[in-house]
Amino acid sequence: MSTTLAGKIALVTGASRGIGRAIAERFAADGAVVGVHYGRNPQAADEVVAAIKAKGGDAFAVAAELTESGAAAKLFAQVDAELAKRGKKTFDILVNNAGVAPFVPFADTTEEQFDYVFNVNVKSLFFITQAAIPRLNDGGRIISTSSVVSRLPFPGVEVYSMSKPPVDNLTKALAKSLGERGITVNAVAPGVIETDMTGFVKSDEGTQQTLNMQALKQIGQAPEIADVVAFLAGPDARWITGQTIEVSGGTVITL
């Protein structure tokens, strides 16, 4: 077990599965206490917490459905209670990982689907970050999950593609405003990662299409994103801020 995050407390949104789970488990392995946020599946979040504790780490689950009004306030009421149990009022690391990516063609996208994507991917991220900042210790970290679609919009996921550039822009703006407190603000931009949101890569056609776009000829896995997030959360990344780091296996780096 690493100790690079020993004594730190982290909150990871969307941490009950996929990339979020990998980040939560990596943080715990590095010594952090981890808040495991979930929206609709308490059993999955409890499983993550149990897995962390089974390896000697510490974690707790917090719930908030991010499409609902007041989600940030609901989330931080629970976070505050968990911090109080540990004699704390502040924490160190926020990872904005929660996101949705429905594969709906542009012509078929409804207003409800549009609002759903932007409520989760943009609005909730904004207000969770807003609520977190007064609770973050000086020298803390904010890390958000962007996507390679900010640079390379994908046909068939137009709304999702539109929802990620705001994450990059907020990252830069907050890096400037929080620099005086020593808080770094960065984002990671995954390419295609094998999770339950990317079922198409399990088909031969989807696998080949993905590999054809990448310099590295393998399908990305969640721990590979977690490794970079852990680096950004740790002391070795203290001089990096305002950046979006693409973690995509070299997706379309040349024509």
Q: Please list the active-site residues.
A: 160
Three-state DSSP at 127 gives helix
Q: Round to whole Å and give the CA distance between 222 and 17.
A: 10
For the CA atoms of 6, 7, 13, 19, the dihedral, rounded to the nearest 10 degrees, stands at: 0
Q: Round to whole Å and give the CA distance between 158 and 36.
A: 29
Bridge-based pairing of strands 136-145 and 33-38 is: unpaired
Q: Round to whole Å and give the CA distance between 63 and 16.
A: 10
Cα 53 to its chain centre, rounded Å, is 21
Supply the DSSP string of 31-80, one letter for each residue.
T-EEEEEESS-HHHHHHHHHHHHHTT-EEEEEE--TTSTTHHHHHHHHHH
DSSP state of 14: T
Residue closest to 18 by CA, chosen among 246, 197, 232: 197
* Alpha-carbon distances, residue 45 vs 13, 14, 35, 41 (angstroms): 11, 9, 10, 7
As beta bridge partners, residue 144 has 96, 187
